[in-house]
Amino acid sequence: MDLKSIGELKEEWTFLTKRLTDQFGMEPDLQGIIFLIGVQELGQGNRKFSKDEKQDLMHIATCRLLSNYGIYELAGADEEGWPHWKLVGKMPVLSLKEQDLLLKRAVLDYFVEQ
């Protein structure tokens, strides 16, 4: 990612977080947004989730986001409606900062798709 695209990503990220702040009344961080995507992808509405379910929601969202890069593919859903993903590609070796940028780009693309 070059400096121009990093600058554009920051602008788009600021716009998205402002929009979500206006909608939810608090500024979400990347993890909070990933959680929201997990809830959206589960499709069971906003309800109380156990600690394990919250971790599963984060996993669902991460798989969904990385599916755009050919890393995961939806395998189907279980009897309770929880989606399951299978690893079909390799995650590139990235620094923590690069991982953060990749996830932010994937989140922004997700909201454009939706």
Taking the domains of the chain in order of start, what are their residue ranges? 3-113
pLDDT in the model for residue 114: 86
Using alpha carbons, select from 65, 58, 88, 66 the residue that is nearest to residue 75: 88
Dist CA 63 CA 58 (whole Å):
9
Q: Which of 85, 49, 92 is nearest to 65 (CA)?
A: 85
In sequence order, which ranges of the chain are alpha helices (DSSP H)? 3-24, 30-42, 51-67, 96-113
Q: Are 81 and 44 in contact (CB under 8 A)?
A: yes
pLDDT in tens, the chain (114 residues): 555 688 899 999 999 999 999 999 999 999 999 999 999 999 998 889 999 999 999 999 999 999 999 999 999 999 999 999 999 999 889 999 999 999 999 999 999 998
Note the pLDDT of residue 4: 60
pLDDT at 2: 54
**Contact indicator for 61, 38 with CB cutoff of 8 Å:** yes
